[in-house]
Amino acid sequence: MARKRKEFPILENVTITDVAAEGKALARVNDMVVFVPFVVPGDVVDLKIRKKKHSYCEAEVVRFVKYSETRAEPVCQHFGVCGGCKWQNLPYEEQLRAKQQQVFDQLSRISHVQLPEFNPIMGSQLTLHYRNKLEFGCSNKRWLTREQVASGETFDTMNAIGFHITGAFDKILPIEKCWLMDDLQNRIRNEIRDYALANGFTFFDLRQQVGLLRDVMIRNSDTGEWMVLVQFHFESEGDQQTAEALLSHLGEQFPQITSLLWVDNQKCNDTFGDLPVQVFKGNDHIFEVMEDLKFKVGPKSFYQTNTLQAYHLYDVARQFANLNGNEIVYDLYTGTGTIANFVARKAKKVVGVEYVPEAIEDAKVNSELNGIDNTTFYAGDMKDILNDEFIAENGQPDVIITDPPRAGMHADVIETIVRANPKRIVYVSCNPATQARDLIALDNNYEVKAVQPVDMFPHTPHVENVVLLERRY
């Protein structure tokens, strides 16, 4: 017989005092730290504890006693259920303050290296409709809110298109309107949903691995182009014809779509980096423009999702690199070569390294598109490629720009960077905590000279940070 779950008492009249990690806020009750989602500092609330540890607990609001004066009205009808924009109830100025503090706390508390005064965080020009890419899951298991469950409401179908719910990997919260991207994506997504429901499509069951409609990716660009990729899971004869009927309908309804693609995904997950992508209509790519440069973006390409703010991020990296035209620059984790090509005209030579072969091919195309002939790109695992022989072949770098994934840089990569002995390192990071860890490994040889936080994702707790390091001797 299962043990009965312990019921915790309601905590009454608790004042939320500060912003915490992962988009939560915190309060203190006696000696206990309490983490609470979807509240802001100054709120006075009654709380129900959901999880309790030795020194902290996690709770949720059961009643607002008093709303904080430091509060914004969320624009999204899905706020509080969808976990995407956890800070929509926090004024943007306060979001920036919290992110600035987050960068300062993580770099100072984790790295313990000598730090200069931080530059003020660069806020995003757009706080809504700023993304150029969204992905939506399709599932036969619709997520029901507690209110819907309590009401006993019934649904004609449990099929849904929307976002995955944290802690329920096989369930999808149906999204009617998302504010993160131009509104055309809402119309496209809802049209896919309506057509699929009207025509008896099966939606994917992640546990059973059955169902035709699996995933939808939508991208747009500052050139006005739109890409839509639909993932299907073909099981029976005629499934491809059924899928193509949907794609034909989309093409007719939305002439704005310049790249209409599909994938037959038989894997256990929704990643398609190793699968062939089929073109149904238009091109297999769209273009982004930055300054006078053109960048080809394919369905598997990485491109910063906040187009306008990406320019400012890369401009900071270029300023920190301080190039005069005579330098050899290494761009590590180069992706589709955006930074490499962005700085190439101010460098003697740029060498880009990236794990994904398709991204490297895009990087080469992007150089050709822009008449850039001083870039060289290599595909492979960074810790395996970047070694002493590689540096001997490509030349000792004067400047290294590195933009690693959230996990930061491998220890072998850091050791090779130190042996390469560049004058400057420009470290772009989407995770200041792992950036701080890497600064420790670089500290004997490099001094932190500048720190510039950049907000790429308004209404979320995520923040990018650019650090300039200069050789100590």
- Annotated binding site for S-adenosyl-L-methionine: which residue ranges? 304, 333, 354, 403
Tell me the C-alpha distance between 375 and 223, whole Å: 25
Tokens at 139, concatenated? 């599932």
- Non-local (6+) Cβ contacts of 174 within 8 A are 142, 143, 160, 161, 162
Let me know if 373 is exposed, middle or buried by CB neighbors in 10 A (0-12, 13-18, 19+): exposed
Instruction: Give Cα 386 to chain centroid, integer Å.
Output: 26
CB of 26 closer than 8 Å to CB of 40 = no
Query: Judging by DSSP bridges, how do beta strands 56-66 and 32-36 pair with one another?
Result: parallel
Distance, CA of 260 to CA of 226 (rounded, Å): 8
**Which is catalytic among the residues 57, 76, 178, 430?**
430
Active site residue 76: no
Active site positions, annotated: 430
